[in-house]
Amino acid sequence: MENDNRKNQTIEKEEKSIEPAQHRKKNHKSVTGRPDINEISKRNEEAAREERKSFYIITGKIALLIIVVIFLVYFLAK
């Protein structure tokens, strides 16, 4: 009896895990034709802009840290 319940639970769990995948296939729109070059260029430009921005932020933090260390060494050395 317990063995049957376990099998039923396993089957129910498997059915639940299969269900979302089936919904995705129904709702998924496949892209037909060639990709839009302008759209790809916009995404690449945005990615480059974000990389530059993060690089500037990191560089600024490092420069600020160096300045703080120099001031600490200067004032604590007196």
Q: pLDDT tens for residues 30-70?
A: 556 788 999 999 999 999 999 999 999 999 999 999 999 99
Sorting pLDDT into bands at 50, 70 and 90, what band is 78? confident
Q: Report if residue 74 sits inside a domain.
A: yes
Range list of β-strands (E), the chain = none
Q: Which tokens hold the place of 39?
A: 């759209």
pTM beyond cutoff 0.75: no
pLDDT above 90 for 3: no
**Radius of gyration (Cα) for the chain, nearest Å?**
29
Q: Report if residue 34 sits inside a domain.
A: no
Q: Report if residue 73 sits inside a domain.
A: yes
Distance between CA atoms of residues 29 and 32, nearest Å: 9
Q: How many domains does the chain have?
A: 1
pLDDT above 60 for 22: no
Q: Report if residue 26 sits inside a domain.
A: no
Q: Report if residue 3 sits inside a domain.
A: no
> At which residue do the structure tokens 């604590």 appear?
76
Distance between CA atoms of residues 69 and 62, nearest Å: 11
